[in-house]
Structure 1
Amino acid sequence: MTTDDLTTRATEARRALARTLVDAGDLTDPEWRRAFEEVPRHVFVPYFYAPSGERISGDDRWFAAVHEDRSLVTHRTNGAATSSSSQPSLMATMLEALAVADGMSALEIGAGTGYNAALLAHRLGDDRVTTVDIAEDITGPARERLATAGYRPTVITGDGSIGAPDRAPYDRIIVTCGLSAVPPALLQQLTDDGFLLTPLGNALARIHPTGPGTATGRFLPHGAFFMPLRHTSTDGVPTRRPPLPIGPGRPSTLPVATIADNHFRFLAGIAVPGLTWQYDLSESGEITGARVWHPDGSIAHAHPDTTVTEAGPRPLWAALEEAYRTYQIADRPTPDRYGVTITLESQRAWLDDPDGPGWTLGG
């Protein structure tokens, strides 16, 4: 395929993807639609990794995947996926939720491929956009791809939890990696009427500062699955599974199939953060058993006979059962029924009301 052929095909494919996002209701703002139609995603994703680990580049499989509504793993560390190009529908949802206007400045935490920074720069202008990622082997290629596509926002290599204070304040901060709690430094870099949009658990929260070190916010109804924020260049490798528990199991009050319910998984993610999951699936794709563990060495094994065994410093499955009781009593709440309160002393997610059931973030 010649360069001209690729350019023509990619232009048509971007327009088709934008129409798909519009038809699905994920893209409603004409300015953002124009950005998705004009920013060349294929420049930012010259290759990606299949689940098998195969690197795919330059062929029809690559071209089709880049112009589909799917996330693509773009960076691996010691064999583990540590960076990706997010699903375009989720990107559109987040960008529209920013509610930007001309003249605003934006900080992105999680540069990744640079594609989202290009969309921001297309909408706001290069000088209004700053993006941060942890490792030069991510930011270097992102910077080059941005320049190739005609965009030159400020790209910084550093710990995203620190932000980019030298260019603050920002009207909007968008976090494109998973957080278990909001880094206080980011709140300090917002304008008085600005806000931060971030994944917490597996949903999006829009958080407004209310004073020095304090903030409040609500979750949006949308799911949001992101790789976790990395504080060092070697972060991101999944925790090795501890030895499986041994001994007799006990009856469980949490049906193992419930962990496929994204609304429950949201609550589980804020009630018991930092978990790694592994499933057993039937031929029809139903979950019949699971292992779940935490970096502190705790592990639980849910068996097909509905019993569970646990080991380590804390009973993980018991904590999940407690979250499930709250979930049932509250009539299976969706993420938009939850909110966040941040003080100098703590960060707390709550259900329905700040005085309602709550969980310490990052705990």
Structure 2
Amino acid sequence: MTSAFTDQAAAEARRALTQALMDSGDLTDSRWLLAFEEVPRHVFVPYFYVSSGERVSGDDQWFTAVHEDRSLVTHRTDGAATSSSSQPSLMATMLEALAVADGMNVLEIGAGTGYNAALLAHRLGDDHVTTVDIAADITGPARERLATAGYRPTVITGDGSLGAPDRAPYDRIIVTCGLSTVPPALLQQLTDDGCLLAPLGNALARIHPTGPGTATGRFLRHGAFFMPLRHTTSDGVPARRPPLPTGPGRPSALPAKAIADNHFRFLAGIAVPGLTWQYDLNDEREITAARVWHRDGSIAQLHPDTTVTEAGPRRLWTTLEDAHRSYQDAGSPTPDRYGITIDAEGQFVCLDDPDGQSWTLGE
């Protein structure tokens, strides 16, 4: 594929993708529309990995995929996916929810390929955008691709949970990796009327500081699946599965179909953060059995006969059953019915209002 053909075809493909994002309602702001039309995603995703681990690059499959509304794994550590280019519709939703205005300074946690930083730089200008990622083998290529595409925001290698204090304060902070709690350093680097947008569970929380060390916010309805924030170059790799539990099973109060309910999975991710899931599917792609485990060595196995076995320091499935009962009792709430409160006592997700049922983040 020649460079000229790539540039012409990419421009047409970007216009088609942008139109699809507009048609779906994910993209409505004309300034972001222009950014998606003009920032070349194919420059930032010169290759990606499929589920088999094979690297795809430079062919029709690659070119088509980078101009579709899909996330693409772009970095692997010890065989595990540790960075990706997010789904464009989710990126559009997050960028519009950020509610930026000209002259604002934005910090992005999770530089990844650099594509989102390029969209931000297109909208706000290079000097107003700072992006952070944990590893030099991520930030180095991101910086090079940004320059190739004509953008030069500040790219920093470091622990995203610490932010980038040297360039603070920020009017907006956008986190493009999954959190189990909100890092206090990020709140400290916001302006008094600033906003932090971050994935917690599998939904987006829009959080505003209310004072030193305190903040409140609400979740958006839109789902948001991200790889976890890495604090070191060696973490973020999914935990190896502990030995499967043995012994007789007990009847499960949590049906397999509930696992596929993303609204329940939001609550599950809040109640028990840091889980790794594995499924068995039938011909209709329905979940018939599952295994779920945690880094602490806890594991649960749901069998096809609807019984469950558990092992390890805590009973994961029992906790998930409790969460599902709360979910059903509340009328199967969507994420936008939840809020978040951060104060000296901790970080809490509350149903409907601060006095409603709550869960402590990070436990």
TM-score tier (shorter):
over 0.9
AA in 1 matched with 2:41: R
Residue 193 of structure 1: CA displacement? 0.5
Equivalent residue number for residue 345 of structure 1: 345
- Are 2:50 and 1:50 aligned? yes
Please give the secondary structure, in 2, of the residue aligned with 1:215: strand
- Amino acid of the residue matched to residue 67 of structure 1? H
Query: What pairs with 1:248-259 in structure 2 (closer than 5 Å)?
Result: 248-259=248-259
Shift of 1:344: 2.2
**Equivalences for 1:36-185 in 2 at 5 Å?**
36-185=36-185
Given the alignment of the two structures, is residue 290 of structure 1 paired with residue 287 of structure 2, yes or no? no
Structure-2-length-normalised TM-score? 0.99
Deviations 1:73-115 (A, max 9, x none): 0000000000000000000000000000100010000000000
Name the counterpart of 2:23.
Answer: 23
**Alpha-carbon distance in structure 1 between the residues aligned to 2:182 and 2:111:** 18
What SS is found at the alignment partner of 2:177? coil
User: Which stretches in structure 1 are left out of the alignment for 5+ residues?
Assistant: none
Residue 218 in structure 1 maps to residue 238 in structure 2: no
Aligned counterparts of 1:19 and 1:283: Cα–Cα separation in 2: 34
Alpha-carbon shift at residue 3 of structure 1 (Å):
1.1
Deviation at 1:345, TM superposition (A): 2.6
Instruction: Name the CA distance, whole Å, in 2 between partners of 1:3 and 1:250.
Output: 61
> 3-state DSSP class of the match of 1:304?
coil
State how far apart, in whole Å, the 1-side matches of 2:234 and 2:271 are: 27
Alignment-derived partner of residue 244 in structure 2? 244
Deviations 1:335-359 (A, max 9, x none): 0000000012300001111111111
Q: 230-239 or 158-167: which moved more?
A: 230-239
Q: Aligned pair count? A: 363
How many angstroms does 1:191 deviate by? 0.5
Give 3-state SS (helix, strand or coil) of 2:131's partner.
strand
Spell out, residue by residue over 1:164-195, the C-alpha distance to the aligned partner (whole angstroms, 9 max, x if none): 00000000000000000000000000001001
Counterpart for residue 13 of structure 1: 13
> SS where residue 207 of structure 2 aligns?
strand
* Matched AA of 2:182: V
User: Aligned partners of 2:253 and 2:4: how far apart in 1?
Assistant: 60
Give the aligned partner of residue 195 of structure 1: 195
Shift of 1:2: 1.7
Q: Give the structure-1-normalised TM-score.
A: 0.99
Secondary structure of 1:336's partner?
Answer: helix
1:358 equivalent to 2:345? Answer: no
CA distance in 1, matches of 2:349, 2:289: 29
Give the residue type in structure 1 aligned to 2:141. P
How many angstroms does 1:71 deviate by?
A: 0.2
Secondary structure of 2:284 counterpart = coil
Distance 1:237 1:252 in 2: 30
- What's the offset of the Cα at 1:4? 1.2
Q: Give the AA of the match of 2:345.
A: E
Asked whether 1:278 is paired with 2:288, we answer no
1:330 aligns with 2:325: no
119-128 or 281-290: bigger deviation: 281-290
More moved, 126-135 vs 281-290: 281-290
CA distance in 2, matches of 1:329, 1:309: 25
Deviation of 1:284 (Å):
1.3
CA distances 1:289-325 after superposition (whole Å, capped 9, x unpaired): 1111111111111111111111111110000000000
Counterpart residue identity of residue 339, structure 1: G
CA RMSD of superposed structures (Å): 0.5
Percent identity over the alignment is 82
Deviation at 1:218, TM superposition (A): 0.2
- Letter in structure 1 aligned against 2:163: G
Between the aligned partners of 2:195 and 2:259, the Cα distance in structure 1 is: 32
Q: Which runs of 5+ in 2 are unaligned?
A: none
Where 2:193 maps in the other structure, the secondary structure is strand
Amino acid at match of 2:169: P
Partner of 1:307: 307
- Secondary structure of the residue aligned to 1:141 is helix
Q: Distance in 2 between matches of 1:2 and 1:227?
A: 34
1:191 maps to a residue whose letter is T
Q: Distance in 2 between matches of 1:333 and 1:106?
A: 32
Deviations 1:198-249 (A, max 9, x none): 0000000000000000000000000000000000011121101111111111
